[in-house]
Amino acid sequence: MLNLRATLPIAARKGDILQLMKEHDVLVVCGETGSGKTTQVPQFILDDMIESGHGGYCNIICTQPRRIAAISVAERVADERCEPSPGSDGSLIGYQVRLDSARNEKTRLLFCTTGIVLRKLMGDKNLSGITHIIVDEVHERSLLGDFLLIVLKNLIEKQSSKGSRKLKIILMSATVDSNLFSRYFSNCPVVSAEGRTHPVTTYFLEDIYDKIDYRLTSDSAASLTHGTSARGQILQRDVVTKSRGKKNLFLSGWGDESLLSEREINPYFVPSCYQLYSEQTQQNMKRLNEDVIDYELIEDLICFVDETCSEGAILVFLPGMSEINCLHDKLVACSQFGGPSSEWIIPLHSTVVPSEQKRVFLRPPGNIRKVVIATNIAETSITIDDVVYVIDCGKHKENRYNPQKKLSSMVEDWISRANAMQRRGRAGRVKPGNCFCLYTRHRFEKLMRPYQVPEMLRMPLVELCLQIKLLSFGYIKPFLLEALEPPKVEAMDSAISLLYEVGALEGDEELTPLGHHLAKLPVDVLIGKMLLYGAIFGCLSPILSIAAFLSYKSPFVYPKDEKQNVERAKLTLLNDKVDGPCNTNDIDRQSDHLLMMTAYKKWQRILTEKGTKAAQKFCNSVFLSSSVMFMIREMRMQFGTLLADIGLITLPKDYQKHGKKIGSLDNWLSDASQPFNIYVHHSSVIKAILCAGLYPNVAAGEQGIAAAALSSLKQSSSYANSHRTVWFDGRREVHIHPSSINSNSKGFQYPFLVFLEKVETNKVFLRDTSVISPYSILLFGGSINVQHQTGQVIIDGWLKLTAPAQVAVLFKELRLALHSILKELI
Ligand code: CDP
Ligand code: MG
């Protein structure tokens, strides 16, 4: 290992780095991925401190954008130093990520996620115990990364004006524009490590496409044989020997490794020869477009490389976990990779457990070929040395703001040219490599943007603003304007006003107790508020489901022409006495959210009692998507651990550590005997919490605007109408979406609906809705204005309730009580 480390490009710059560190407070280190920045630079400092006898004292923090990288680097560095594993006795190396930490008071070099540093800032704004902060992968320009840079810049300026303690900062970046970072820190010096990569031959989709004999063994193969010349048939015979019984692939122009030379293949395989193929085959060929991820093509490419190309691992980039699992399943099922070699098809994404993850660095025995299927985590954070072949789908998942939902969610999009180059570079680490891009050259050269837009310019800033307040960094806008590339003023304004609306800020940008809790929950504020109140008001399990469905998507599928059947299935679900809402009257039927929650409850029970097959059958029978349900299960557990993280609920001991027995955590979270679940059978409580989370997304029927009398609303169905209700959202008329179970109702218990999403087509539609009681609005809604002359209570200037003044006063007091409950929980 020592020898290997000495040959890393960064090793040549050790002297410069240490020297410049002595002369300057800030230093930028850049170098190609794999040059040794992450593993070596922290050790340069550590060793220097130990050798120089500065009392040997240092306390180095190295931040990583992802938890999986923090853990794997810490383990690697401990290995390199022949130290016991991170965090154990006698090891100087440690790591800390959310829900998992391996460190002790002897730890001198800590690898952690950016979020952990921000949490440390909460304890000590000056980070006084720390001697060095290394911010790794700054080129990723993540929201938290850019945020941390503002904080560090302020710290450095403060310390140079005071001339006190010297905190040293090192920014590490892949090849991109390192001067940008240098300029930001008053033109600090930049050290770059020499690149050391081999040439990579790139094939774009059309290159692959041109050279593929994309025929199926079905009917089209017959017509193909029929339509081709003798030479074609020779090709086919050759194919049969290599056949995997399904479909065959030829690529040419790869020198010695190709099956046949380009000259031989071209007459048959350029797209202009379409006419040789049957219509079916032509369709299949056209299907090879860049918009969908073509698993079969990827599978074929992998098999082709495995069969015909020289030694070297294959690295496949896919956008996310579900795509990775899908390809993994296909490959394991394929004869070529089944059996022992299937162990060497390794998924790599952020939720792979560390022990499994380490396998990507191992070399397989004999002639087994390693195939790593990864997200963009393998782009810069994790380097796998023996990769020679890269297959790049060209896409990744990005956190994006969805203005319709007013939530951010992960969406799939094209990567930037810089990302594509990074991915390509992964193939040339040990010898000349090949990169297969599943997109066209045109896409790469003309359509991909050169760099990724920094998150700060494209993400909502709500959560970030809360952090600024929680850390008491003063007013939000001046702070954010100091960023490397500051966000737009409108983006900041809209974030700040949302924080006032949900009640996280009050007065002069002061954080409320609610805001305090929300700042500690790393989820969207609306969802966070719902979860928080769900736990406090004893209906956590249903709220976990609803919050998950709201953040992800509705589980119902609408097969063509089956709308009626879907509606019937929805009603059956609601009428179920065992799992449906307990008071099976009209109110409970008037909520799409309660319906989803019920569907989950039922699915979960079947899954636990009868197993996966029965659960799948259930899904099919009531038009639910099984994969959405499994995703919801994951998200419920994730939300549960987040709440445990801030101390709102206490997980049983076994669950403390991530990854252990995690499967049954979901059942524990739904256990009705838990204190956080005592009101799970009270649908009115659940709906009130829904209102707390979704407010101000309220629509009111005419009567809600023209004053709904609170007193008369007590009896059920008093708002029943023979004609259709017209709904308003404060400004305009809105309509209930036809897919909602409320869309056909004529009578509503209360003239108030909450919703998350508005969709604008020819009209404005509310997607999923729940009818809620005016009391929920009084307790959880916006500001109350009592008009004593008319006896009206006006909420947020437009929602009108006719209520005795005492009722309004009572609710104001209840609000104060809630405020103090939240305060006590801090
Ligand atoms: O940070 P940078 O991309 O510059 O490189 P690095 O992550 O420090 O990796 C340097 C080298 O260490 C890689 O080329 C790998 O050879 C090796 N490495 C490893 O074998 N196993 C690890 N878990 C991490 C790094
Ligand atoms: Mg690195």
Long-range pairs for 45-53 at CB < 8 Å and ≥24 separation?
A: 45/18, 45/21, 45/132, 45/134, 46/92, 46/108, 46/109, 48/18, 49/108, 49/131
Mean pLDDT over 758-766 rounds to 85
Per-residue exposure over 90-117, b if at least 16 CB sit within 10 Å of its own CB, e if not:
ebbbbbbbbebbbbeeebbbbbbbbbbb
CA of 474 to the centre of ligand 1 (A): 40
Question: pLDDT tier at 803 (50, 70, 90 boundaries)?
Answer: confident
Please give the single-letter amino acid code of residue 320.
Answer: G
pLDDT at residue 122, rounded to an integer? 83
pLDDT at 230: 28
13, pLDDT greater than 90: yes
**Nearest CA residue ID for atom 10, ligand 1:** 36
Q: In angstroms, rounded to a whole number, what is the distance separating the alpha carbons of residues 336 and 162?
A: 66
Say if ligand 1 is within 6 A of residue 422 CB: no
- Which H or E run includes 413? strand 407-414
Ligand nearest to the backbone CA of 79: 1
Q: What is the Cα gyration radius of the chain?
A: 30
- Per-residue pLDDT tens for 616-646? 999 999 999 998 899 899 889 989 988 998 8
Average pLDDT score over residue span 778-787: 87
Q: What is the mean pLDDT of residues 429-449?
A: 90
Query: Which residue's CA is the nearest one to ligand 1's atom 22?
Result: 76
The two tokens of residue 447 are: 């359509």
Which residue, by CA, sits nearest to atom 13 of ligand 1? 34
Instruction: Give how far the C-alpha of residue 252 lies from the chain's centroid of Cα atoms, to the nearest Å.
Output: 39
The answer to whether residues 95 and 70 touch, using CB atoms and an 8 Å cutoff, is yes
Is 37's C-beta closer than 6 angstroms to any atom of ligand 1?
yes
For residue range 366-383, list pLDDT tens digits in order: 888 999 999 988 988 788
Burial of 81 (0-12, 13-18, 19+ CB in 10 A): middle
Is the Cβ atom of 31 under 6 angstroms away from ligand 1? yes
* Separation of alpha carbons 587 and 594, rounded Å: 10
Least confident of 138-152, 558-572, 597-611: 558-572
Measured in Å, residue 382 CA sits from the centre of ligand 2 at 7
Q: What is the DSSP letter of 624?
A: B
Mean pLDDT over 716-720 rounds to: 45
Higher pLDDT residue, 709 or 134?
A: 134
- Reported in sequence order, the residue ranges of 468-595 that DSSP labels E, i.e. its strands, are 505-506, 510-511
- Pairwise CA distance, residues 369 & 431, whole Å: 16
* H/E stretch holding 78: helix 67-80
- pLDDT value of residue 282: 45
Cα gap 301→285, rounded to integer Å:
15
pLDDT tens, position by position, 16-43:
999 999 999 999 999 888 889 999 999 9
Give the best-scoring range by mean pLDDT among 191-195, 252-256, 533-537, 718-722.
533-537
Query: Which pairs from 810-815 meet CB under 8 Å and 24+ separation?
Result: 811/775, 811/778, 811/779, 811/784, 812/784, 814/779, 815/779
* 247-248 and 215-216 strand pairing: antiparallel
591 DSSP assignment:
B
Range of lowest pLDDT (421-435, 451-465, 732-746): 732-746
- As a whole number, the mean pLDDT across the chain is 82
For residue 202, name the pLDDT band (cuts at 50, 70, 90): very high
> Across residues 677-688, what is the average pLDDT?
91
pLDDT at 600 over 60: yes
pLDDT tens digits for range 317-352: 999 888 998 999 999 888 777 777 788 999 998 777
pLDDT band at 64 (very low <50, low <70, confident <90, very high): very high
CB of residue 39 inside a 6 A radius of ligand 1? yes
Residue type, position 201, single letter: T
Residue 413 neighbours by CB distance under 10 Å:
14
Helix/strand/coil (H/E/C) assignment for every residue in 715-743? CCCCCCCCCCCCEECCCCEEEECCCCCCC
**pLDDT confidence of residue 580:** 58
pLDDT in tens, 100-117: 889 998 899 999 999 899
* Alpha carbon of 124 to ligand 2 centroid (Å): 27
Which ligand lies nearest the alpha carbon of 3? 1
38 alpha carbon – ligand 2 mean position (Å):
4
- Going by pLDDT thresholds of 50, 70 and 90, the confidence category of residue 731 is confident
The span from the CA of 552 to the CA of 547, in Å, is: 8
pLDDT band at 485 (very low <50, low <70, confident <90, very high): very high
For the cut 90, the answer to whether the pLDDT of residue 825 exceeds it is no
Whether 258 has a pLDDT exceeding 50, the answer reads: no
Q: Specify the pTM.
A: 0.78
Ligand nearest to the CA of 36: 1
pLDDT of residue 37: 94
Structure tokens at 410: 């992960």
Report the alpha-carbon distance of residue 398 to residue 411 in Å, rounded: 5
When pLDDT is cut at 50, 70 and 90, the band that residue 54 belongs to is low
Distance CA 685, CA 716 (A): 17
Cα torsion through 9, 14, 15, 19, rounded to 10: 130
Name which residue leads in pLDDT, 654 or 180. 180
SS3 451: coil
In the chain, the percentage of residues whose pLDDT exceeds 90 is 44
Ligand 1 pocket, 33 CB below 6 A? yes
Give residue 704's pLDDT.
Answer: 58
Q: What share of the chain is helix, strand, coil (3-state, %, to 5)?
A: 50, 15, 35
Q: How far is the CA of 383 from the centre of ligand 2 (A)?
A: 8
CA 77 to ligand 1 center in whole angstroms:
10
Residue 272 pLDDT more than 60?
A: no
* Cα–Cα distance, 815 to 51 (Å, whole number): 61
Question: For ligand 1, is residue 35 a contact (CB within 6 Å)?
Answer: yes
Instruction: Show the CA angle centred on residue 118, arms to residues 113 and 122, nearest 5°.
Output: 145
Q: How far is the CA of 36 from the centre of ligand 1 (A)?
A: 6
- Give dist(CA 775, CA 336) in Å, integer: 64
Q: Does 269 score more than 80 pLDDT?
A: no
**Interstrand relation of 698-701 and 727-728 (parallel, antiparallel or unpaired):** antiparallel
What is the C-alpha separation between 389 and 429, in angstroms, rounded?
Answer: 10
pLDDT tens digit sequence for 546-557: 999 998 888 998
Pick from 230, 348, 227: nearest CA to 282: 227
Q: Is residue 582 very low, low, confident or very high in pLDDT (cuts 50, 70, 90)?
A: low
Q: Is the complex ipTM more than 0.90?
A: yes
The yes-or-no verdict on residue 285 having pLDDT over 60 is no
Q: If you average pLDDT over residues 669-689, what whole number do you get?
A: 92
Is there a contact between 466 and 525 (Cβ–Cβ < 8 Å)? yes
Atom of ligand 1 nearest to the CA of 385: 16
Distance CA 204, CA 210 (A): 10
Q: How far apart are CA 327 and CA 294, in angstroms?
A: 10
State how far Cα 630 lies from the chain centre: 16
CA angle at 180 for the pair 175 and 181, rounded to the nearest 5°: 85
pLDDT at 531: 97
Q: What is the DSSP string of 660-715?
A: SSHHHHHHHHT-TTSGGGTTTT-HHHHHHHHHHHHTT-EEEEHHHHS-EETGGGGS
- Which range has the worst mean pLDDT, 150-154, 214-218, 794-798? 214-218
Give residue 508's identity as a one-letter amino acid code.
D
Instruction: Name the band, by pLDDT with cuts 50, 70 and 90, for residue 577.
Output: low
Give the per-residue pLDDT at 654.
66
Write the pLDDT tens digit of every residue in 227-245.
Answer: 332 233 323 323 322 333 3
Choose which residue among 30, 64, 383, 430 to substitute to test ligand 1 binding: the one with the highest number of ligand atoms within 8 A of its C-beta.
Answer: 383
Conformational region of residue 310, where left means phi above 0, alpha means psi within -120 to 50, and beta covers everything else: beta
Q: Give the span between the Cα atoms of 18 and 16, in whole angstroms.
A: 6
Which residues, at least 6 apart from 169, have a Cβ–Cβ distance to it below 8 Å?
A: 25, 26, 27, 132, 133, 134, 135, 152, 156, 185
381 CA → ligand 2 middle, Å: 5
pLDDT value at 719 more than 60: no
| CA 824 / ligand 1 centre spacing (Å) | 47
Q: What is the mean pLDDT of residues 562-578?
A: 83
Q: Using a pLDDT cut of 70, give the percent of the chain over it.
A: 82
Among the bound ligands, the one closest to the CA of 40: 1
Where would I find the beta strands (DSSP E) of 272-384? 313-317, 345-348, 371-374
Ligand 1 pocket, residue 383 CB under 6 Å:
yes
Cα 319 to chain center, whole Å?
11
